Structure 1
């Protein structure tokens, strides 16, 4: 039986999610590993939490993945650490890697958005005579 890597993402609708899927797919294309992309939706806000939201995760676990990669930067965009930890507790005992946001003790791949935005402002916006950017925002944890 070939190893299975499950990639848990919120949707395929965002460009970043499509690029993540393409990159992971290309990375595993040369090895004897199956990759499952599982768009499970965003983790809910605490007031909207129901245990029924765990079913897609239980379905993934039932496939016995060797590794689970979470695009936690997208999955956790609308929720709290408590809800995230509740969902991720379902995966206990399965090796996991997080991308975007570090959760618990699992390894994480993170991006320095602060430096990226500073470079953007320095190299693009500050060189314009009349920059017309009004507001740039994103989650402070990201």
Structure 2
């Protein structure tokens, strides 16, 4: 397998099309595809039910960081095609807010690359989220993994 592949990164307010992304990511010389989807869940926070999340991003910086992380993961794991897409705007319960697809020769590197990417994205990407509750209230939430939190 050649690890010379491509990378597609995006921030979008549109729903993530996993099927189309998966279809485009496939490669005839790769036997593994790892997919991570981060999905909005209907948590209960302080007695309030979450209806959706609202994501805001510093787009220019976020895209640069996404590309740098994809470049970096290629140096660690021999993966071929990469897709990283993060939603902005309102993401309702059961909708996907982030999609990562890593295509590689074997499952081990694809799975490890996917896990590495989501952990680094959670720590470094300038994307903020607000919980929107059923009662209409909204509240910014802090990401526990974010490097600037320490």
Please indicate the TM-score interval, normalised by the length of the shorter structure. Answer: 0.3 to 0.5
Structure with higher RCO (Cα < 8 A, 6+ apart): 2
Length-normalised TM-score, structure 2: 0.33
Larger radius of gyration: 1
More strand by share: 2
